[in-house]
Amino acid sequence: MKTVGTLFGIGVGPGDPELLTLKAVRKINQADVIFTAASTKNAYSLAVEIARPHIAEQATIRSLSFTMSKDKVKAREAWDSNARTIAEVLEQGKNAAFLTLGDPMTYSTYGYVLKSLTSVMPHAVIETIPGITSFHAAAARINRTLVEGEESLLISSGAYGGEPLRKSMDGVENVVLLKAYKNTVDINTALKGAGLFENGVAISKCGREGEEIIDNLGDLETRDPNYWTLILAGK
């Protein structure tokens, strides 16, 4: 029987190359083909740059373009086409790695890869290697506990402002807000409404060149924060 290769979905951590796990290093090194998402946000070069010292010399690096189209059919076609590209490699018996920043199961294009690959290649062998998330790295960076005792923690996206917070804030004591780079006035209004504004901190490019720790969330409103910004807030 023909052996198929394995797809390793690998989280390379949030930026600091020392936050790559030993397992990620070993699996990156075993990959014949390295896939990553091409992105205007530069995630492609970053994930590859973090992994670069561990990529086998003979491995090839391929970037896949993920359409974030609002048209669901078009988006699905693009994801399936990427999945077929990965499937072709696996069918040749080669191992492939799909690199993502942070953790692959947390707000990552890898989620789309997983869904599409299992649909276009149901017999695909897939192994996911967790990565250190941006918010775990950020909490560690400023020595701030994320959650304690019986408290709750909401992990949400700020891409559309404070609305997701307003919807799910009831009884939540701590919040992690990723993609906190736009609609910051609305985000802050929602945090104030929930009594979470005062203790909030924003971190940009944690562990990377240009890292910034913004102690006053009000400053976000005048700064035009970059895409790599998250907020940690709590009561």
Closest distance of CB 123 from ligand SAM, Å: 27
Question: By C-beta, is 9 or 15 nearer to ligand SAM?
Answer: 15
Site residues (vs ligand SAM, CB under 6 A): 14-15, 100-103, 106-108, 133-134, 138, 178-181, 203-208, 227-230
Q: How far apart are CA 126 and CA 51, in angstroms?
A: 19
Closest distance of CB 90 from ligand SAM, Å: 23
Question: By C-beta, is 5 or 102 nearer to ligand SAM?
Answer: 102
Closest distance of CB 157 from ligand SAM, Å: 8
Q: Half-sphere exposure (CA, 13 Å, Cβ side) for 32?
A: 13
Q: How far apart are CA 230 and CA 203, in angstroms?
A: 6
Closest distance of CB 188 from ligand SAM, Å: 16
SS3 label, residue 30: helix
DSSP classification of residue 54: G
Tokens 């890292």 label which residue?
211
For 11, list phi and psi in degrees, rounded to 5: -90, 125
Question: By C-beta, is 35 or 228 nearer to ligand SAM?
Answer: 228
Question: By C-beta, is 166 or 205 nearer to ligand SAM?
Answer: 205
Tell me how far apart the 2 most distant CA atoms of the chain are, in Å.
62
- Quick check: 31 and 52 in contact, CB under 8 A? no
Question: By C-beta, is 134 or 188 nearer to ligand SAM?
Answer: 134
Closest distance of CB 175 from ligand SAM, Å: 13
Residue at shortest CB range from ligand SAM: 102
Q: How far apart are CA 150 and CA 98, in angstroms?
A: 36
Closest distance of CB 154 from ligand SAM, Å: 14
Question: By C-beta, is 117 or 178 nearer to ligand SAM?
Answer: 178
Contacts of 111 (CB under 8 A, 6+ apart): 104, 105
